[in-house]
């Protein structure tokens, strides 16, 4: 069976699935990406990107005869439109994530101190991102998290004032700028 035919015959089902994938990706990114070394933010953004990218493909495949003479122009326009949508989506998602963190900490926040216990790094493509590993205690348990250490401002055994959520102990923020 031809892929274009599958898309044309199942536009509504594919649209609903794309919307479900988008919502799942959004939830992963905004609500479930606060854990130590969590990849949920990257996975969620990728899912949202795939879901948004499906709609122009559906549109082009659903109306192939109208655009055969202008395929290159229409394709470039759609890529541009999808690019703008993705930039707006990234900004809105980042705002929603920060807003969710702020509301959670305002409702259930506890002030405490964390200690820098080590350093680690990740590579994204060819860029290295440095992190400081921190630990803080909550209900007789130790929570391990990491924070970006772009300018290497954190030192081993440094004490950092933080505020974290009583309900979701992996959600935290640094409360003072004097490191």
Mean pLDDT over 127-153 rounds to 88
- pLDDT score, position 117: 94
Residue 179 has pLDDT above 50, yes or no: no
Neighbouring residues of 82: CB distance < 8 A, sequence distance ≥ 6: 52, 53, 56
CA–CA dist 111, 109 (Å, integer) = 7
* Residues 39-43: contacts with CB under 8 Å, at least 24 apart: 41/97
Nearest to 32 by CA among 92, 88, 93: 93
Predicted TM-score (pTM) of this structure: 0.65
**Local structure of 116: helix, strand or coil:** strand
pLDDT digits (tens, 9 = 90+) for 16-40: 888 899 999 888 888 888 877 777 8
CA–CA dist 58, 19 (Å, integer) = 13
């Amino acid at each position: 069976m031809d892929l274009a035919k599958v898309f044309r015959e199942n536009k509504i089902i594919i649209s609903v699935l794309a919307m479900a994938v988008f919502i799942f990706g959004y939830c992963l990114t905004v609500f479930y990406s606060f854990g130590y070394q969590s990849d949920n933010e990257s996975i969620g953004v990728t899912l949202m990107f795939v879901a948004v990218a499906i709609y122009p493909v559906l549109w082009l495949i659903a109306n192939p005869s109208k655009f055969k003479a202008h395929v290159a122009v229409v394709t470039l326009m759609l890529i541009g439109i999808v690019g703008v949508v993705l930039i707006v989506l990234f900004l809105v998602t980042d705002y929603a994530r920060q807003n969710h963190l702020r509301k959670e900490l305002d409702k259930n926040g506890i002030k405490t101190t964390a200690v820098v216990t080590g350093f680690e790094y990740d590579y994204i493509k060819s860029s290295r991102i440095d992190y400081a590993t921190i630990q803080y205690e909550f209900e007789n348990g130790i929570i391990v998290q990491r924070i970006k250490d772009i300018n290497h401002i954190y030192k081993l055994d440094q004490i950092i004032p933080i505020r974290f959520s009583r309900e979701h102990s992996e959600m935290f923020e640094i409360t003072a700028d004097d490191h």
